[in-house]
Amino acid sequence: MDIYHHFQTQGLTASRRHFSAAWLGRAENYLCLRGDRGPSADAMIELFQTLVREGRLMLAMRVGWAVLWLPEEARR
């Protein structure tokens, strides 16, 4: 399960547009433009840092794990 779908099943986002803007701090069309690559490593690291600052440590851990296992094409 990718990070977007994890946030969606947790009820933290209702759309890719919302996830891109509210959680990743990117343009609303960011995930659409990234396609199958998913969020970049930079976006995931920023998301991790935001979650830690907010005290959402379990969710941050999930994002951190996803960062460690990002496919090569998502690292760009």
Residue 1 — very low, low, confident or very high, per pLDDT cuts 50/70/90? Answer: low
Stronger pLDDT, 10 or 70, i.e. the higher one: 10
pLDDT digits (tens, 9 = 90+) for 17-45: 999 999 999 999 999 999 888 899 999 99
> CB neighbours of 51 closer than 8 A, spacing ≥ 6?
57, 59, 60, 63
Provide the whole-model pTM: 0.86
Residue 75 — very low, low, confident or very high, per pLDDT cuts 50/70/90? Answer: low
At 67, list the tokens.
Answer: 């960062």
* Residues 75, 38 contacting (CB under 8 angstroms): no
Predicted local distance difference test score (pLDDT) of residue 27: 97
| Residue-range domain boundaries for the chain | 3-70
